């Protein structure tokens, strides 16, 4: 199947309530254009430099999602065009996003990245860290941030029970955060979870946004980038 057919097949298999983000990291502009041509407007990248280059080369009705770890010194360069930052994992990062967004009068949509996987390598906040952040005096001063929901990654394992339990945990973190901080706020509505190997399970567990790379574009060849 072609890249465009891969995208369309997934799109047709999921509920229209779930946003499908085509994770185009490492893949060329032409591959993105093929998926764009069949209607995709949500693309995910994890490197700032690549985001900037692709944004400049592609139509401006694309919604770009930053899904990778974001360093504070790189925030400034993506704020003008980034649609949603999935990877907020510190107050320091949020403060920088707020500062840069305020300079251009933008309210930047963000997700809090939670740590749920067993592995040590994943970034993200614990519930305590997130709640501390949301109750801090500094957070209350951020006028140019809108927290839309949460993001997380399950462990990289074939064990469906483990993955399912971790997605369930993420859904609970979403509910706990919502009831404590966003109970009357309908824009806190996003659970970004699920990738190529586990998006079906993620949707069963309540995902509203899936980030799919390999199943659309094929495998990534990091050495050519």
Ligand X SMILES: *Cc1c(COP(=O)(O)O)cnc(C)c1O
Whether the CB-CB separation of 170 and 196 falls below 8 Å is answered with no
Question: What residue number has its CB nearest to ligand X?
Answer: 213
Strands 82-88, 190-192: parallel, antiparallel or unpaired by DSSP?
unpaired
Looking at the Cβ atoms of 142 and 193, the one nearer to ligand X is 193
The phi-psi region of residue 124 (left if phi > 0; otherwise alpha if psi is between -120 and 50; otherwise beta) is left
Shortest distance (Å) from residue 214 CB to ligand X: 3
Q: What is the smallest separation between the CB atom of 196 and ligand X, expressed in angstroms? A: 3
User: Which residues does residue 21 pair with via DSSP β-bridges, in sequence order?
Assistant: 211
Closer of 60 and 223 to ligand X (Cβ): 223
Residues forming the site for ligand X (CB under 6 A): 23, 25, 46, 67-68, 153, 195-197, 211-215
Measured from the CB atom, the residue of 132 and 204 that comes closer to ligand X is: 204
In whole angstroms, the minimum distance from the beta carbon of 18 to ligand X comes to: 14
Q: Which residues contact 147 (CB under 8 A, 6 or more apart)?
A: 88, 110, 111, 112, 134, 182, 188
Q: Which is nearer to ligand X, 53 or 214 (CB)?
A: 214
Report the distance separating Cα 134 and Cα 167, nearest Å: 22
Q: How far is the CB of 6 from ligand X (least distance, A)?
A: 11
The answer to whether the CB of 119 falls within 8 A of the CB of 156 is yes
Q: Which is nearer to ligand X, 195 or 203 (CB)?
A: 195
Q: Which CA distances in Å does 61 have to 42, 55, 57?
A: 9, 10, 12
Shorter beta-carbon distance to ligand X: residue 23 or 133: 23
Closest approach, Cβ 202 to ligand X, in A, equals: 11
Could you tell me how many helices (H) and strands (E) the chain has, helices first?
10, 8
Residue 81 CB, shortest distance to ligand X, in Å, is 19
Q: 151 Cβ partners below 8 Å, 6+ apart?
A: 67, 86, 87, 111, 112, 113, 114, 191, 192, 193
**Under a CB-based contact definition with an 8 Å cutoff, are residues 190 and 149 in contact?**
yes
């Amino acid at each position: 199947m072609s890249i465009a057919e891969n995208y369309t097949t997934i799109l047709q298999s999921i509920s229209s309530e779930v946003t499908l983000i085509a994770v185009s990291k490492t893949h060329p502009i032409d591959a993105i254009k093929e998926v764009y041509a069949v209607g995709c407007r949500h693309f995910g990248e994890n490197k700032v430099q690549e985001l900037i280059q692709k944004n400049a080369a592609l139509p401006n009705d694309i919604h770009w999602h930053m899904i990778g770890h974001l360093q504070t010194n790189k925030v400034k360069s993506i704020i003008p065009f980034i649609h949603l930052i999935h990877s907020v994992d510190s107050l320091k990062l949020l403060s920088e996003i707020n500062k840069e967004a305020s300079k251009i009068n933008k309210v930047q949509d963000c997700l809090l990245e939670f740590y749920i996987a067993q592995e040590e390598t994943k970034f993200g906040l614990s519930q305590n860290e997130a709640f501390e952040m949301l109750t801090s005096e500094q957070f209350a001063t951020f006028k140019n941030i809108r927290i839309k929901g949460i993001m997380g990654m399950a462990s990289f394992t074939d064990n469906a029970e483990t993955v399912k339990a971790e997605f369930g945990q993420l859904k609970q973190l979403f509910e706990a955060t919502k009831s404590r901080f966003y109970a009357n706020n309908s824009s806190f509505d996003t659970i970004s979870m699920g990738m190529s190997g586990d998006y079906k399970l993620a949707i069963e567990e309540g995902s509203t946004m899936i980030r799919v790379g390999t199943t659309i574009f094929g495998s990534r060849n990091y050495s050519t980038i």
